[in-house]
Amino acid sequence: MPETAPLDLAGDVGELTAALVDIESVSGGERALADAVEAALAPLAHLAVVRDGEAVVARTALGRAERVVIAGHLDTVPLAGNLPSRAEDGLLYGCGTSDMKSGVAVALKLAAGLPAPTRDVTYVFYDCEEIEVARNGLARLGRTRPELLAGDFAVLMEPTGGEIEGGCQGTLRAQVLTTGKRAHSARSWFGENAIHAVAPLLARLNAYEAREPVVDGLTYHEGLNAVGIAGGVAGNVIPDECVVTVNYRFAPDRSLDQARDHVREVFAGHEVRFTDGAPGARPGLTHPVASAFTRAVGGTPRAKLGWTDVALFSALGVPAVNYGPGDPNLAHQRDEYVSLATIADCERRMFAWLGAP
């Protein structure tokens, strides 16, 4: 394997993004990139750098009245023939350009370029965000080194198109069962078809009216949808069970337990088995630090319609928002790209917030 060139934290943020993209870091394979990030940050006298697995944490210790956390994941989804990166017409193409190595590049520029920020800052670059939460590097730090994530406010550099997205939705998946009685399909009247019994259940979903609650000034749009269906025994058997898998995306004014109760209520009369779930996070825009961030960044904050790691910060008592230069609609695509102008604009706004000279 060729040796990775050192990262240039003093150069152009777009070129730094390209350098990060060109270091392959599919989930579980972040070591080369984590090594490069650690090597770039370790010589900076104003930062204390900690390595935890494939996560790198760098902190200032200036005794400021407030501490903020700026976090970004190092991993990407699997490659799709989209490395190395290439720049064309003001756009940078390549795996992870939008989600979220452009955000990581902005955070690295801040870490190197702000030796005396107006607030103490913790920079967190972590692994395994794109796969199961049990392997998530930020979740691991929250369990084993929560003191490294402590702060008054956090910014997760998820792709948002350069707009602030507050909080995030919660999510859960459940299996809803219909039952029947087996019989030979030639004499179907002796049985009860569990697949046919799904029709009223699907009718409930088609008639479902999703909430659009306002939480801390931001409007969330919920959704309850079937995402899978399974049933059948054999080509000559009337099935006695069918399972519909549903996904509920719920606003952060509901807890995970309240969301489960709601799903049970919608499917009253059916057995409901919950297979996974994660709570959401409130917008986190009411704290004074968040207000200063909003003023510096500008624009009109909107609700995050999806689940992100801001929920992990929320569970630690740290209000957090999503803000990054990438476009969330381009994440994970073969032709993923990011606007170089948007990266530079995001860098400028973050420097303004934290007090660049």
Separation between Cα atoms, residue 12 and residue 112, nearest integer Å: 13
Q: Where are the domains of the chain?
A: 13-167+281-354, 170-278
Average pLDDT for 249-275: 97
Average pLDDT for 78-90: 96
Selecting among 129, 152, 222, 336, the annotated active-site residue is: 129
Domain 170-278: top CATH class: alpha beta
CB-based contact 127:74 (threshold 8 Å): yes
Of the pLDDT bands very low, low, confident and very high (cuts 50, 70, 90), residue 134 is: confident
Average pLDDT for 247-258: 97
What is the H or E stretch that residue 144 is in? helix 137-144
How many CB atoms sit inside 10 A of residue 322's CB? 29
Separation between Cα atoms, residue 86 and residue 103, nearest integer Å: 17
pTM beyond 0.95: the answer is no
Q: Is the preceding peptide bond at 84 cis, omega within 30 degrees of 0?
A: yes
pLDDT of residue 287: 82
- What is the chain's percent helix, strand, coil content, to nearest 5? 30, 25, 40
Least confident among 110-114, 119-123, 215-219, 259-263: 215-219
**Is 129 part of the annotated catalytic residue set?**
yes
**256-261-262-264 Cα dihedral, nearest 10 degrees:** 130
Average pLDDT for 34-45: 98
Least confident among 85-89, 174-178, 271-275, 327-331: 327-331
pLDDT at 132 over 90: no
Of the pLDDT bands very low, low, confident and very high (cuts 50, 70, 90), residue 33 is: very high
pLDDT at 4 over 80: no
Selecting among 75, 99, 152, 222, the annotated active-site residue is: 75
Average pLDDT for 222-234: 97
Mean pLDDT (the chain) is 95
Separation between Cα atoms, residue 64 and residue 217, nearest integer Å: 29
Of the pLDDT bands very low, low, confident and very high (cuts 50, 70, 90), residue 2 is: low
pLDDT of residue 1: 47
What is the chain's length? Answer: 357
> HSE (CB half, 13 Å, CA atoms) of 257?
0
pLDDT of residue 291: 87
pLDDT of residue 288: 86
Separation between Cα atoms, residue 240 and residue 262, nearest integer Å: 26
Domain 13-167+281-354: top CATH class: alpha beta
